[in-house]
């Protein structure tokens, strides 16, 4: 079975990273029933998400990576994708542009802000917290994603704010609560 599985994944255009023990066990026909297959682990597909409508990465990383239905979106700063420069106007404008950039990446993966389940907000100055929140709540409505916010010593290109996210691809529905507030 592992040999057949490998052929299926290669035909589907998947890259196999055979350097890991799990991959070696699961793909070696001589080790049938050993490793990931015996442990009940399935091979997941990883897809790089990229769009020209958001700024290109300023380092060796991807705009986003989709693994199964979970998308990890790299931190977005308030950079105009056409000029490669930070937008003028301070932290509010940079926050708005960072979230627009995130929205374009979400669209490239057929998602929107409603698919985001966790964000991390990095700020050059915690005094900007209220201004960032004012813009943030214009993009995320209703049930907000989980979030962490930190002040950091510096951000790329001198940005005032950077926002990264985790999103779930595909349809999501909210759990219904009973009359006692339980899920």
Query: Digits of tens for pLDDT over the chain (183 positions)?
Result: 444 444 444 444 454 444 344 444 444 445 444 555 556 788 999 999 999 999 999 899 999 999 999 999 999 999 999 999 999 999 999 999 999 999 999 999 999 999 999 999 999 999 999 999 999 999 998 889 999 999 999 999 999 999 999 999 999 887 876 677 676
Distances (CA, A) of 135 to 87, 143, 159, 161, 170: 15, 16, 16, 12, 26
How many secondary structure helices (H) and strands (E) does the chain include?
A: 4, 6
Q: Which residues contact 178 (CB under 8 A, 6 or more apart)?
A: none
pLDDT at residue 128 in the model: 98
Measured between alpha carbons, how far is 162 from 164 in angstroms, rounded to an integer? 7
SS3 call for 136: helix
pTM of the predicted model, to two decimals?
0.77
5 CB burial (10 A radius; 0-12, 13-18, 19+): middle
């Amino acid at each position: 079975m592992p040999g057949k599985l490998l052929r299926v994944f290669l035909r589907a255009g998947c890259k196999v990273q055979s350097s890991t023990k799990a991959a070696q066990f699961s793909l070696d026909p001589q080790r049938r029933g050993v490793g990931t297959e015996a442990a009940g682990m399935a091979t997941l597909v990883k897809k790089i998400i990229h769009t020209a409508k958001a700024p290109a990465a300023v380092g060796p990383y991807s705009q986003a990576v989709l693994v199964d239905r979970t998308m990890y979106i790299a931190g977005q700063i308030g950079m105009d994708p056409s000029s490669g420069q930070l937008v003028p106007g301070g932290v509010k404008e940079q926050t708005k542009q960072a979230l627009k950039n995130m929205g374009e990446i979400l669209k490239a993966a057929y998602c929107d802000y409603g698919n985001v389940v966790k964000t991390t907000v990095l700020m050059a100055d915690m005094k900007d917290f209220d201004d960032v929140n004012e813009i943030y709540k214009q993009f995320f409505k209703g049930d907000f994603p989980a979030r962490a916010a930190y002040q950091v010593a510096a951000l790329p290109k001198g940005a005032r704010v950077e926002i990264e996210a985790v999103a779930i691809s595909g349809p999501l529905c909210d759990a219904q609560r009973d009359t006692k507030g339980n899920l």
